[in-house]
Amino acid sequence: MERFGIPVRIVGDFDFYEYGKGVWATRATTIPSVKIETLGIRALRISGSLKPTTAFLRIVGKYASKNVVYLNKSSGLSFLKGSVIQGVCGDMRGYVVVRTENDILGCGMCKEGSLISQIPKKYRPDSSWI
Amino acid sequence: MKIEAYKDIIPDFEEFRRIMATPQPYWMRVNTLKISEKDLIARLENKGFRFERYRDWNAYMIVESPVKHPGATFEHSLGYYYIQDFASMIPPIVLKPRKGERILDMAAAPGSKTTQIAAMVDDSATIVANDIRDDRIRALAGNVERVGATSVIITRGDARAKRFGMTFDRILLDAPCTGEGVVRKTPRKREPDLREHIKFSKMQMRMVENAYRHLKDGGVMVYSTCTYNPLENEHVVQYAVDEVGFVPLQIDIDIPYERGVREWRERSFEGIWDKVIRVYPHRINTGGMFIALLKK
Ligand SMILES: C[S@@+](CC[C@H](N)C(=O)[O-])C[C@H]1O[C@@H](n2cnc3c(N)ncnc32)[C@H](O)[C@@H]1O
């Protein structure tokens, strides 16, 4: 979260646990001593490197001050649909928080100047949405 | 049972029957973990939605929707609101969860009430949400993630027997039931018969016993169902009081409701019928709900 300049007072509200292929963020204070299915919300995926999840960025991303890409409404929609957006990354590289003026859209990746959408399928809009 | 079987216990039965034949409107709740009510309502009204708010509550009847299903919006995908019947919002309100508490939702999927509880405590509690079915747990996990409720821990198990390894300040048992109160939303081919009511009733009693085991002394449980048959409602609560050791509490809530059923087919529910409440569809155009508040 340092990468995004999210203040410690925000991140400090959560406890982070590594299990399975992820790091989970929770505000629960007692963890039951039985097998659990989920523990709060997955904040990072571990697959070689650490990748922030869209779901967690949608919670804390509004506090990000670094590595943030602002999109207008129409490129925001293309981003959600999974398109590559050109000309918005500047000199940023790696994972970024992608947002519009009002909404945190989720996780993107800046690579060679292109913004590549990391929005999981379940959050991609259907053509019937308004 | 056929809905006619409840003629003597449901007041204004003709009006009840009339409303049951009409489609049930959608209700929704703003997810205050992510956005303020004012901002979201303005955004959705801009898109062509029209709402009727219940008093000053975070409960909005959708009277006009520009899309067929009111969840087909970006705002919904961003987790800014939750489509949930008004009647289904009542059990968490009666439960009154507080910040910092340990709360168990024993039959939680798909998570309408779990996510409502998380919003009520501002995501600052320990909320264990349990269900038995894998597919429904996936839906629950999806909703928890969408609304951003990090205080929720999901477990899978049989609410009749599962040991959670801890005790709780509050428990919600929104029990599996024959669902007579949701037929306006999900029509079905035939009514449940007596055998099914009895089968569910027995299952509910086992769940009540397990809830008692997991409640700390002085803790409270809300028992709710979305069905009308007293065998799954007053009868289960009577058992909870007479056989399990719960104490029934008066419910203090400002909505139109009916008291419980006093007698049903030679069973009498003295001592609890005037504490439990029934929410009927023909009062403010909702589904049906039964709610009891019990203390250990
Ligand atoms: C009335 S629904 C719960 C609705 C949920 N509380 C909500 O507000 O979204 C009942 C749930 O009980 C679950 N269930 C059925 N039998 C169960 C059992 N033995 N143990 C735990 N859950 C069970 C079902 O899978 C179903 O999701």
Give me the pLDDT at residue B236, please: 98
- List own/partner pairs for B40-49 with CB under 8 A and 24 or more apart: B40/B75, B40/B80, B40/B81, B43/B75, B44/B73, B44/B75, B44/B81, B47/A130, B47/B73, B48/A130
Tokens 């009733």, located at residue: B201
Q: In angstroms, what is the C-alpha Rg of chain A?
A: 15
B142 CB near a chain A CB, below 8 Å? yes
- Give the model confidence (pLDDT) of A112-122 as tens digits: 999 999 999 99
Question: Which residues contact residue B49 at a Cβ distance below 8 angstroms, ignoring those fewer than 6 apart?
Answer: B62, B64, B65, B66, B70
Residue B114 identity = T
Q: What is the ipTM of this complex?
A: 0.96
- In this structure, the strands spanning B168-174 and B215-225 are parallel
Q: Is A53 among the domain residues?
A: yes
Residue B189 predicted with pLDDT over 80? no
- The domain covering B3-19+86-295 belongs, at the CATH homologous superfamily level, to Vaccinia Virus protein VP39 (3.40.50.150)
Interface contact A28-B79, CB threshold 8 A: no
B287: nearest Cα among B89, B115, B71: B89
Q: Is A20 among the domain residues?
A: yes
Interface contact A37-B66, CB threshold 8 A: no
Helical pair B86-95 and B112-120, crossing angle rounded to 10 deg: 50
Closest ligand 1 atom, CA of B110? 9
Angle at A41 between CA B32 and CA A55, to 5 degrees: 70
Per-residue pLDDT band at A13 (split at 50, 70, 90): very high
Reduced to 3 states (helix: H, G, I; strand: E, B; else coil), residue B278 is: strand
Give me the pLDDT at residue B105, please: 98
Interface contact A26-B153, CB threshold 8 A: yes
Give me the pLDDT at residue B25, please: 95
CATH value of B25-84 in 3.10.20.90, 3.40.190.10, 3.30.70.1170, 1.10.8.640: 3.30.70.1170
* From B34, B100, B153, residue closest to A38, measured CB to CB: B153
Residue B210, ligand 1, Cβ within 6 A: no
Q: Is A67 among the domain residues?
A: yes
| Structural domain span for residue A61 | 2-123
Q: How far, in Å, from the CA of B268 to the mean position of ligand 1?
A: 28
* From A28, A80, A129, residue closest to B151, measured CB to CB: A28
Q: How far is B157 from chain A (nearest CA, A)?
A: 10
* From A33, A35, A129, residue closest to B74, measured CB to CB: A129
Average pLDDT over residues A8-28: 94
Average pLDDT over residues B233-261: 97
Task: Domain count for chain A, please give it.
Answer: 1
Model-wide pTM > 0.80: yes
CATH code of residue A69:
3.10.450.720
Residue A1 predicted with pLDDT over 80? no
Residue B159, ligand 1, Cβ within 6 A: yes
Q: Which helix (H) or strand (E) holds B147?
A: helix B134-147
- What DSSP string runs through B10-36? SSSHHHHHHHHTSPPPPEEEE-TTTS-
Query: Which tokens sit at B47?
Result: 């898109």
Give me the pLDDT at residue B190, please: 84
Residue B232, ligand 1, Cβ within 6 A: no
Closest ligand 1 atom, CA of B111? 9
Per-residue pLDDT band at A21 (split at 50, 70, 90): confident
Interface test with B, best of A1, A29, A34 (most B CBs within 10 A): A34
Residue A127 predicted with pLDDT over 90? no
Q: Which helix (H) or strand (E) holds B195?
A: helix B194-214
Give me the pLDDT at residue B188, please: 78
Query: Which tokens sit at B150?
Result: 């990090």
* Every domain range in chain B assigned CATH 3.40.50.150: 3-19+86-295
- Give the model confidence (pLDDT) of B163-184 as tens digits: 999 999 999 999 999 999 888 8
- What DSSP string runs through B105-142? ESS-TT-HHHHHHHHHTTT-SEEEEEES-HHHHHHHHH
B246: nearest Cα among B237, B255, B254: B237
